[in-house]
A and B are shown apart, each in its own frame.
Chain A
Amino acid sequence: MLQITLGIITSVGGFLEIGSVTTAVQAGASFQYQLLWAILLGTICLIFLVEMSGRLAAVSKHTIVEATRERFGFPFFFIVLVGMVLVAFLVLVAELGGIGLSLQILTGIGFPWWAIPVSFIVWILMWKGTFSLIENGASLLGLVTLSFAVAAVKLHPEWGGVAHGMLPTFPGDQKAKYWFVAVSILGASISPYLMYFYSSGAIEDEWDESYIPINRFISTFGMSLGGFLSMAVLVVAALVFHPMGIDIQKFEQASLLLTTALPKWGFFLFAMSMLFACLGAALEISLAIAYFFAQGFGWNWSEDLNPARDARFCSTYTIIIMLAAVPLLFGVDPIRVTIMAMALTSATLPLAIVPFLFLMNDPIYLREHRNGWISNTVVAIIVLISFVLAVISIPLEIIGG
């Protein structure tokens, strides 16, 4: 029971990050409730993917990366590695930038000044911390993001309109922007790094087949509650920014999200929510990238090992964190990086998901626990939708400026 509760808390506290918040705020501010369907679709897909990641690890004792390399060979694995690591790196830049921006609005010191201290804190937590500290500690702090749900309820949304937003509709105007934000929401929700992190975590925690029901419960309830939180952000933005005609372009504007519903603490709750959510995500992404390299190249890996015993694994996240700080030092806008990273995530989803679906249907790895037709169909359709939308809307948005 304790494990399930902790798992759900971890999923809820760790769900929001700069990508999901930024895209939901932009969607609510520009299109009111019209893009809630994108969060719903992304959350459904994520529930299936996270459940599959845990099941693969529990049954086969392989992480996704190990199984991909073993099943498809190194040349194919290398293509997946390049694509996934590039996108995950951009997301890491965005998350470190998100921490910097949160500190900027709290202290008045510009985010580029925070690039090195923030990267150092992330690195030291990785170097000194254990897997459970990273998994549970940051997520417990991330529970402050529940304030978005409180704000949404306090603002008394029109529930009929919210329900209507769950069904896809065509936009009246700003078509390119509408689809681009939809794609970014899908990219923010269906983050492949979460799958790699989750399956590696299952191996770190030594899951076996007895964990399959727990895994199903945690992924379903945890991700659903996380999805609701993301919807709450969109609903609050729709009620606060949309009526005033504010189209969110900068983090400073988004910082006022909670001040209407929670006047006394709203500003600080937003800043703290973003700070902890981005910190948790930065730790998870750094770990996911290091897992990717270590598992793919057959190095020693475990966040619980002393760094001397998995030196290449630790060197990988050290280098990645250092590199991610560089664009921020030069003042690259983290919000622009976030939006682009989320859209690119959607565009590269097939690269991560298609081989994963093959693995999930392979009797050698999953035996009698292979995917059923429902999970295969749902994931394949959502990934296809995300990919097609990304391929169409990214050039349109770039051309449209």
Chain B
Amino acid sequence: MKRFLVISIALVAACKSPTPTEQMDSIQSWLAAAGMVGDAWLRHTTPDKYSRQTLDLTRETLLQLARDLLKAPPHSVDSVALRLVLTRSREHVARMARLIEEKNAPDFARQLDSLRADRRVIKLLFDSIESGQ
């Protein structure tokens, strides 16, 4: 009975952690949402406070997701490149949040473009993981 319980708990625990694919989807989703928040702020359709807080939330979530993903990165991916691009995109998001406070739209737009470029790189890396699986 005890053994059965231990195995069940282990199984549930193993199932509970999201797969790398799910983590990757989540990272891409948050990056896309950050891009949308950025676009909306540039078009003056969202308040500064909301945009800044949402970008802060995105940065925190990306940090957590990247940490989890990089604990055991998939074998088919260049983990150094992945770590680098995830860190860089997180920094873009953090800078965007700061630039909102400074109301610096031109620099904000540049950061947003860089974030988009990084998102494309991340997508390519993730596609390579998916094709390797």
Residues of chain A touching chain B, judged by Cβ–Cβ distance below 8 Å, are 105-108, 244-247, 249-250, 252-253, 255-256, 259, 263-264, 266-267, 399-401
Chain B contact residues: over half helix, strand or loop, or mixed? helix
Interface magnitude class on chain B: 20 to 34
Establish whether residues B49 and A107, one from each chain, have CB atoms under 8 Å apart when the complex forms: yes
A249–B27 Cα gap in the complex (Å)? Answer: 12
Does B40 make an interface contact (CB < 8 A)? yes
A249–B18 Cα gap in the complex (Å)? Answer: 14
Chain A residue with Cβ nearest B17:
A401
8 sampled A-B residue pairs with Cβ under 8 A: A107-B49, A108-B50, A245-B28, A249-B26, A255-B50, A259-B45, A263-B45, A266-B45
Chain B residue with Cβ nearest A265:
B45
| Among B26, B32, B43, B46, contact of A244 (Cβ-Cβ < 8 Å) | B32
A107–B28 Cα gap in the complex (Å)? Answer: 28
Asked whether A401 and B16 contact (CB < 8 A) given A108-B53, A252-B50, A256-B40, the answer is yes
Establish whether residues A247 and B53, one from each chain, have CB atoms under 8 Å apart when the complex forms: no
Establish whether residues A247 and B25, one from each chain, have CB atoms under 8 Å apart when the complex forms: yes
Establish whether residues A400 and B29, one from each chain, have CB atoms under 8 Å apart when the complex forms: no
Asked whether A401 and B18 contact (CB < 8 A) given A108-B47, A259-B40, the answer is yes
Residues of chain B touching chain A, judged by Cβ–Cβ distance below 8 Å, are 12, 15-18, 25-26, 28-29, 32-33, 35-37, 40, 43, 45-47, 49-50, 53-54, 57
Establish whether residues B15 and A256, one from each chain, have CB atoms under 8 Å apart when the complex forms: no
Asked whether A246 and B33 contact (CB < 8 A) given A259-B40, A401-B17, the answer is yes
A244–B29 Cα gap in the complex (Å)? Answer: 8
A249–B62 Cα gap in the complex (Å)? Answer: 13
Least CB distance, B123 to chain A, in whole angstroms: 9
Asked whether A263 and B43 contact (CB < 8 A) given A105-B50, A108-B50, the answer is yes
Establish whether residues B29 and A245, one from each chain, have CB atoms under 8 Å apart when the complex forms: yes
| Among B18, B25, B36, contact of A256 (Cβ-Cβ < 8 Å) | B36
Establish whether residues B46 and A256, one from each chain, have CB atoms under 8 Å apart when the complex forms: yes
